[in-house]
Each structure stands twice: as C-alpha cells, then as structure tokens.
Structure 1
Amino acid sequence: MCKIVLSLFAVLFLSLAPAPANAMTQCQVKMLRVWADSNGVVWFDFANNTGVGIGANNSGREAMMSLAVTALVSGRDVILRYQADNADCNVTRTDFLGMYLL
C-alpha cells in the first residue's frame, strides 16, 4: 500500500513540475502579394518588405495559400508564427511555422 501511495505522489509531483515552454514569435503583417514559381514554391510577400516561401511538399501549403489569398482580397492582416523566440519581424526568415487570419 505504501508503494502505491508513494507512486501516486511521484506522478502528482512530476505532473506539477514546471515544463519548458515552447518559445516562438508571432508577427502581424499585411499581405502584399502571392506568387507561385515553376518549382511549386508559393511565396507570400508582405507590406513590411519581408516574405516567406512555402515548399511544394509542405503539408499545410493549401491551407496557408487559402488564408493568404483571403487576406489579400479582404485586406485583413495575418499573424505569422516563427519558431525562434523574440525573432525580428522585419527581416525575411526561414523558420516559418504557419499563419492565421485576423
């Protein structure tokens, strides 16, 4: 019985222990244009003179294209998510994770 109680306390303690946070940066931008090249890469250019490219094999490519075109025709901003913590939103980055429409 004592082993069971100790095991339960150990599980409880470990579940309450602080875990490292997933750091990331989110940047609000206005979509300027959407461009596709002959290799299947789709480029999103933003009003702050930055952009991101989405490769042909990216599983979220169609969803991101849909959000980008919606933002472009509606004039709504998007939030870009980058992997790095405290990333500079005013430079073109390669650690792009995704976007959502505001």
Structure 2
Amino acid sequence: MDKLQVQLTAILNLLNIKIFRILLFLLIGVVMYSAMYNNVKPEKLNLKLFSVAEKTIRSPITIEDKESTEADRRKAVEQVKDVYRVKSEYAQNS
C-alpha cells in the first residue's frame, strides 16, 4: 500500500510541473487525433470523364428544391377536402 501511495504522490508532483502538464495534454491530443483521423479523412475517388462510377457517389450536403417542394405542398392541400360538422350543442345553446 505504501508503494502505491508513493507512486500516486510522485504522479501528483509531476502534474504540478507546468511543462509536464503541457506535454501530457499534447500527447493525449496526438493520440486522440491519430485514433480519429480515419473518421474525418476525405475519401479519394478514382474518376474519369464520361465513365461509369464503380460505386454510388453521394453529396455530403442536402440541397432543397424549394419550388418543387412548394408545388407538392400546394397539390397536397388541394387534395384534402374541407370537412364541416354542425354541432347540435350550438343550436341548443341559442
């Protein structure tokens, strides 16, 4: 138990040194960057003009076609019929 306590005290003393703290955070940053690099690395495609692509190429962003969206919305509104219902409670209250 004394050995563990001595080692923990030594580690805490090292953390109090400013340069060691900076080096520790730089090391952690480099390790995390290298571990996550494959997730953010852009994919290179081998394309030739007027040739068929080997796999489907998808855009990383979505662009909305506002005109056709508005036309579809108007068409959907026109297809819904108006529904009116006379409530008998209104006639009784009068």
Structure having greater relative contact order (Cα 8 Å, sep ≥ 6): 1
Greater Rg by CA: 2
TM range (shorter): under 0.3
Greater strand fraction, Structure 1 or Structure 2: 1
TM-score of the two chains, using structure 1 as the length reference:
0.23
